[in-house]
Amino acid sequence: MPTEEKDENDKVTNQTQIDHWHNANDKCIGTFTMTINSALIHPYQDKEDTSDVWDALKKKFSTPSTTSKYLEFKAMYDTTIPKDLHPQAAFAKICKHLDLLQDYKCDVLPTFQSLLVLVKLP
């Protein structure tokens, strides 16, 4: 939220900017309320600033669980490299899963990645 700027007569000089911010903030709160499940957004209804709501939701829901990490690894491990087709699609899928694991802060060492690919070769 922009801070009030006052002139020498103690009159607010940036009221248009403040009104614009409140209008945009109200629209964002409305969008959150209409698009996010009410059970999820209800605990944050007392917050007036959308950035506070967004930060609270991000903190609560952006951390991947151990199950998410396992399922990503399992999907990568279950990818098969076909015998009679070009392996590019399978390698791309394996790389996608490895990238997601890295985003989840699960570093898979390059030597282990190589071993995984070797195990999958027909």
Give yes or no for residue 92 having a pLDDT over 90.
yes
Residue type, 68: S
pLDDT in tens, 43-79: 887 887 888 888 888 888 877 888 889 999 999 999 9
User: What's the mean pLDDT in 80-108?
Assistant: 90
Query: What is the number of residues in the chain?
Result: 122
Cα-Cα end-to-end distance for the chain: 59
Residue (of 82, 118, 121, 79) closest to 98 by Cα position: 79
Amino acid 4: pLDDT: 82
- Measure the CA–CA gap between 28 and 33, rounded to whole angstroms: 9
Amino acid 48: pLDDT: 79
Amino acid 42: pLDDT: 81
Contact in structure between 14 and 2 (CB atoms under 8 Å):
yes
Phi, psi torsion values for 3, nearest 5 degrees: -85, 150
Amino acid 35: pLDDT: 87
The structure tokens listed for 68 are 């998410």
Phi, psi torsion values for 12, nearest 5 degrees: -70, 125
pLDDT in tens, 2-32: 778 888 888 888 888 889 989 998 898 888 8
